Amino acid sequence: MDLFIDTANLDEIKEIAGWGVIRGVTTNPKIFSSEEGVDLKTRVMEILKVLPGPLSVEVTTNDFEEMVSEAMLYASWSSHIVVKVPMNAGGLRAAKVLGEKNIKTNVTAIMSVNQALLAACVGATYASIFLARIGDIGSDYSEVIRQTRSLYDRAGYKTKIIVGSIRHLQHINQAAEAGTHITTVPYKFFREMAHHPQTDKTINEFLEAWNKIKQPV
């Protein structure tokens, strides 16, 4: 399983990319709206200088023709850009058209296996399953991921699953166990993943023991 970071904050991306643990970045209009005063194209290009991997940038309309036009603009900025389209009839239609133009797509806000199947049928590069939001309506998000991965593998679909809507560390573990190809993780959870009080205690014990003998390294 690969890890992406779910943010448009340049400092966050720089830090986690520096660890060597992420392979891509996902964003959406809500994420970009929190970066006040930032020009979209400028920030996109800044991100790609830090991490030249898949970067999902989402369209801001439900109109099919506007989606395609907006997507083509974004894709013209870099071959690393993946255009996010909504999981609806217009988004599926747009994903199909964009795929025929060799533009990578990410069908987003998927909540069911049926929707994930449709994304694969139109040849989407990625299908984004929103884990916690599935749980919000009382459905079994692990089963949605598991069934989708099984379906993709058996049918030979090339679409990769991205699991997003992560709200705590256990969600990351559950997504991995269920078989996602990629989990996209908010910055704060990367920090939490790297920290454990028992690890800190153990390392400090080692350092204190070494310092007592004061041998040069």
Q: What average pLDDT does the structure give for the chain?
A: 97
Nearest alpha-carbon partner for 22 in 4, 6, 7, 8: 4
Predicted local confidence at residue 10, as pLDDT? 98
Tens of pLDDT, residue by residue over 25-57, are 999 999 999 998 999 999 999 999 999 999 999
Predicted local confidence at residue 95, as pLDDT? 98
Task: Give the chain's domain count.
Answer: 1
Where do we find the tokens 């749980």?
A: 135
Predicted local confidence at residue 217, as pLDDT? 63
Question: What is the spatial distance between Cα 101 and Cα 44, in angstroms, rounded to a whole number?
Answer: 21
Q: Work out the pLDDT band at 213, boundaries 50, 70, 90.
A: confident
Secondary structure of residue 58 in the 3-state scheme: strand
Predicted local confidence at residue 214, as pLDDT? 76
Tens of pLDDT, residue by residue over 105-148, are 999 999 999 999 999 999 999 999 999 999 999 999 999 999 99
28 Cβ contact partners less than 8 Å away, ≥ 6 residues apart? 56, 58, 84, 108
Residue ranges making up the domain that contains 87: 2-213
Predicted local confidence at residue 7, as pLDDT? 98
| From 14, 41, 49, 84, the catalytic residue | 84
Q: Work out the pLDDT band at 60, boundaries 50, 70, 90.
A: very high
Q: Span 156-174, mean pLDDT?
A: 98
Could you confirm whether 84 is annotated as catalytic?
Answer: yes
CATH code where residue 48 lies: 3.20.20.70
Instruction: Give the containing element (helix H, strand E) for 84.
Output: strand 81-86
